Amino acid sequence: MAEEQIPGAPIEPITTWLAQHTTITEPLNIQLITGGRSNLTFAIRDSAGRQWVLRRPPLEVALASAHDVLREYRIVTALGSSAVPTAPTIAACNDTSVIGSAFALYRYVAGPVLHTSAAAAELPVVERNLLGFHVIDVLADLHMIDPDAVGLGDLGPREGYIERQIRRWSKQWDAQSPRRVAAWDAVGMQLQATPPHTQRLSIVHGDYRLGNMIIGAGHVQALLDWELCTLGDPLADLAYLANNWIQPGEQDLWGDSPTKIGGFPALQELLERYTARTGLDLTEIDRYRAFAQWRLAAILEGVGMPYTKAGPADKHTHHAITTKVEKHPLAGRGLLRM
């Protein structure tokens, strides 16, 4: 056994459980890949070189509904035979006595995740171009899946996605933060009064961006992080991707967008390709983009608010998050056209 114990991933019970569900050669090595207030992701490797990924809720859960790893496992399993690339599922455990929470096990998929422009810069330009088109093709493939055909027809309510989202995140903001941001309130009221018209019910990922994809050879190898997946309006996913698809020279308000280094297809090319693949009308895409930014602001506020009770370093992180929320021109960038 490896000696070091990682919070949230006790080695001995994981070894015992893993041996019951797949072939392993002890000892195991377990490393945290991503953590924080999203689901925790651990890389597991045995002495024979076999590799897996374990997903469990964070140790401190702020939004319980967003951290249902068993629901996420069900979604990924259902999509396993579709055109959407996902990590192969192995087994899930709802017995919280094993490691202190439910968890799910996936086959390891090799490849980088483009969280930053520096990571994207390591790709040849030709691969960036290919990847951009595959990213939009995968999104179109996801949105063209019949939820009932893959056993996900009960994944969420079938009507009123945008309206539900506005109610949910408005309540979430009120429950988690005493702050008010005038631009955020104003956009929320406008969207609630005249939400965009949903053309099709689809499986929506909820966080569709390059930072949630394992890539390789100019293609998406596995789409990750299905925590916010539900039934809803496909153009909400498309708008969220569009807001993260920063072109060279454009202002990047939400972080270090991988696409801002160039070499990726232009956003308009992707929108035209998506329309050709899905047949959906993008006349209201700017209003969807306003909704996507409004929703992301609420998510970031919920993520950042717990830092106000933490130490100086975490308070600095919270300040950086909330500054982005306050300064984002939600109502003044031409995204909201009523």
Q: Where are the beta strands (DSSP E) in 129-266?
A: 202-204, 213-216, 219-223, 230-232
Residues 6 or more apart whose Cβ sits within 8 Å of residue 159: none
pLDDT under 50: residue ranges of the chain = 1-2, 62-66, 306-308, 310-338
Q: How many helices (H) and strands (E) does the chain have?
A: 10, 9
Separation between Cα atoms, residue 325 and residue 336, nearest integer Å:
17
Q: What is the pLDDT of residue 30?
A: 96
Asked if 8 contacts 34 with a C-beta cutoff of 8 angstroms, the reply is no
Q: What is the pLDDT of residue 41?
A: 94
Provide the CB-side half-sphere exposure for 260 (13 A, CA).
16
Separation between Cα atoms, residue 180 and residue 174, nearest integer Å:
9
pLDDT tens digits along 29-86: 999 997 555 789 999 999 999 999 999 998 875 444 446 999 999 999 999 999 999 9
Separation between Cα atoms, residue 99 and residue 44, nearest integer Å:
15
What's the Cα-to-Cα distance from 151 to each of 11, 13, 183, rounded to whole Å? 34, 32, 40
pLDDT tens digits along 123-149: 999 999 999 999 999 999 999 999 999
Separation between Cα atoms, residue 299 and residue 295, nearest integer Å:
6
Q: What is the pLDDT of residue 38?
A: 74
Separation between Cα atoms, residue 91 and residue 109, nearest integer Å:
16
